[in-house]
Structure 1
């Protein structure tokens, strides 16, 4: 097998692993019950209007795609994990939102150059392993003058710290994969988008999470619903000591963040205008 064929096979295996991870548990419950406010924030920042062609990349169950459709956008919700899209279809129908759902890899989007007025992602593309490849695809499918909008968890915020807490218990990342919270650093996103955009704007915000009354409630919920957390616990399932250590570490993290029954989870919101040149 050639080096190129080896690389393709390794990429297919990695994507299959990601697809399986996000199908674990019940991520739509996280999107619906915990961070539902993030989608409308992104849609408003992108200025989605009636008739706009909108692509939501790594859309999950449609946290941003559904609000974009309800705002009048002609929306395609794409994600690597078909199980999430199926939940999104049902939830969108219940809310009276019409949009198209399509399985797609954020690093190799099956759409034409410049096909969309708005290309956005809400805590989605940050989990694709190869950041520059992903950014190049966001640029490629956005028309010149169109809008690129992103919401990503910051490294310093609660979810970024949760990933840092889980890291010692997780299997090592595959070669070439970059940490998701890097997308929460303004300078990293600026570098990724480069001269493919103009009018780059970034600001930090927080989403208020009042779903958990105690650290244990948070830990129990995320162990049951959130794919990355489930995958880490499965990695140490044969080591009760490590499992107990991670339980304590997550409880400590959540306990430090809870104030009067609520947490503030920090994110970076980026919007930019697509330039006229083709993505490199």
Structure 2
């Protein structure tokens, strides 16, 4: 177990600050709102279950889990997102526990939860094996681990690829987030500590953006990783214009019939019984 009150190191402090930029709750509420409930259903969350949502943000999955009657803890590195989640939960009339925590060093006991889940959250922890080890550790034997992550080949994976030439260099040892959308990568991370693995590529229909420019401006204003990338090149107007064009081109290639389809990997697994 880690000390949940310990100050984050430099890398984690940067991550926490990145997700506090802009307005990620608007992304969760107005763009990807359907993913949380999808994950809760796939995990089979029921009344009375003890559930942990890792990198929960503002509660896109944690709140639907609490609405089932489960006992839910929503953990995230960024307190600003947790505060928004508390307010959203109050408006929905549900109670859950909001805890500041690092996905790579969770402040919970071994086997504490019946279900451990993450909805496009844990994928942004820089050290994938450490995060996967924690997901397994805090799940009870026989419990469920459920994840939704953007795939490398899907729209968001392509967006990160488009931003990479303009973004700050990744820190040593950090792995690209969309790797969590590769089923073989996730299977390797979890290893033989889980069984009954079910991995499915699915698509989220996003009808929030009618034109490429609407997508680009929304993400420039609201999405932490995009904001950080633009800030890194803000003194170079030519590079800013080139990134604008790259994101517009990406969106234009995916827009059809008034919307886009964003591919994600939904994976569920059963924690192996203790030896």
Matched, 1:199 2:190: no
| Mapping for residues 46-125 of structure 1, pairs under 5 Å | 46-125=43-122
Aligned counterparts of 2:52 and 2:104: Cα–Cα separation in 1: 14
Number of corresponding residues: 270
When the two chains are superposed, the root-mean-square deviation of aligned CA atoms in Å is 1.2
Question: Which residue does the alignment assign to 1:256?
Answer: 253
Partner SS state of residue 187, structure 1? helix
Distance 1:249 1:145 in 2: 45
Match of 1:208 in 2: 205
Q: Counterpart of 1:176 in 2: which secondary structure?
A: coil
Match of 2:174 in 1: 177
Distance in 1 of aligned mates of 2:257 and 2:241: 26
Structure-2 separation of matches of 1:233 and 1:196: 40
Q: 2:142 aligns with which of 138, 142, 145?
A: 145
CA positional deviation for 1:98: 1.1
For 2:51 and 2:121, the matched residues in 1 are separated by: 15
Shift of 1:277: 3.5
Q: Residue 4 of structure 1 corresponds to which residue in structure 2?
A: none
1:223 and 2:220 are equivalent in the alignment: yes
What's the CA shift for 1:75?
0.2
Matching residue within 26, 32, 52 for 2:23:
26
Q: Distance in 1 between matches of 2:68 and 2:167?
A: 40
Gaps of 5+ in 2: 1-6
Moved over 4 A (4+): none
- In 2, distance between residues paired with 1:97 and 1:68? 10
2:9 alignment partner, SS class: helix
Q: Give the superposition deviation at 1:276.
A: 2.0
Equivalence for 2:4 = none
Q: Distance in 2 between matches of 1:271 and 1:140?
A: 16
TM-superposed CA distance for 1:261, in Å, is 1.1
Distance 2:267 2:68 in 1: 20
Q: Is the 8 Å Cα contact of residues 154 and 268 (structure 1) preserved in structure 2? A: yes
Superposition deviation, residue 154 in structure 1: 0.1
Deviations 1:99-132 (A, max 9, x none): 1100000000000000000000000000000000
Alignment-derived partner of residue 3 in structure 2: none
Partner of 1:166: 163
TM-score (norm 2): 0.97
Equivalent residue, structure 1, for 2:235: 238
* CA contact 1:196–1:277 (8 Å) conserved in 2: no
